[in-house]
Chains A and B, each alone.
Chain A
């Protein structure tokens, strides 16, 4: 076993102390012939500090497209020539989506809007949606509505929003290459307000956007500093018409090393498979990641793209003897 894996075994597995940025760079640079050992260690860490359960979530786009921001990976920006057209979801369809999600055994249902931050119309739609879902579906509701004011944080908290998603997207040093219409600090500020409110913070990012390995480690370290309850890990799915539309799909082994590194940076977090895994990892890699530090999945489709059938993921969890987290429990 390499030096860094021996260090990680003592520091992370035995003491529960995440690796620092410099140590994460070593993990991300580790050779292919150590990947199996790295994933096995990350899985041990996950089981040791989070347990065997896997958290299942579904997501839905409440407001698609027409976003004023220029996140270079996103097909929903109104600044690019993406084929995605703007559309709002109505409340009955939102409730139906929550029901579909709950039927999979999911405990989280995340309502997402492609906006810089919510305006009055969106907040009203979210409020109506949450009330309608709560009347018919037994599931935790999460929201992802962009950057918030303190008043909006308070309003979402009062509505009973269980978790709020706001990703850092990329490392601070690479953020300006990914987004120019708002700053890393603005994102950080919203995350801090969410944490202070008592809502659970869901904050992750994307990898495979042209960042260096060092910047990938930097992102993990910055997330660890923020200490979110959940970290969704996305792999770039290059979208036609976006500035990152021509980038290569990330190599599967690099993606797996990233999963393990994120787990070794944040031993206690809910580390969720999010978008892009179907392309980057495929079926075999999906299994490897679940045995390499992942302890949560988005089942079914994403916001504008499709995922594996929910049954494929649920069958895989059953095969791996990983119990799905039940409602009202906290990982």
Chain B
């Protein structure tokens, strides 16, 4: 998570809304599905050794560049 993360990548709710402890745990074993900046659902591709995700507004993020 960065300081720009407004929304939870797991559930899509506001980071300020609750602790998201379970979400953080879940994100250890799955890629984010929601854009951290706008909560749009992202198009996500899981690869054998990583993942990449694309928000139609905010662009690409990947396991190499979070």
Contacts and interface: CB of A to CB of B under 8 A. Distances in A.
B34 interface: yes
Interface of B: 11-12, 28-31, 33-34, 41-51
Q: Describe A's contact surface by its main secondary structure.
A: loop
Nearest to B28: A306
B44 A306 contact: no
Nearest to B11: A240
Interface of A: 58-61, 64, 83-87, 89, 93, 96-97, 100-101, 104, 237, 240, 278-279, 299-307, 310
A300 B49 CA distance: 5
B48 A101 contact: yes
Given A83-B34, A85-B42, A305 B29 contact: yes
Contacts of A59: 48
Given A58-B48, A301-B49, A306-B30, A83 B41 contact: yes
8 contacts: A83-B12, A83-B41, A85-B42, A85-B44, A278-B29, A299-B48, A304-B44, A306-B29
Contacts, number: 66
Contact of B46 (A237, A279, A301, A310): A301
A91 to B, nearest CB: 13
B48 A84 contact: no
B59 to A, nearest CB: 15
Contacts of B42: 85
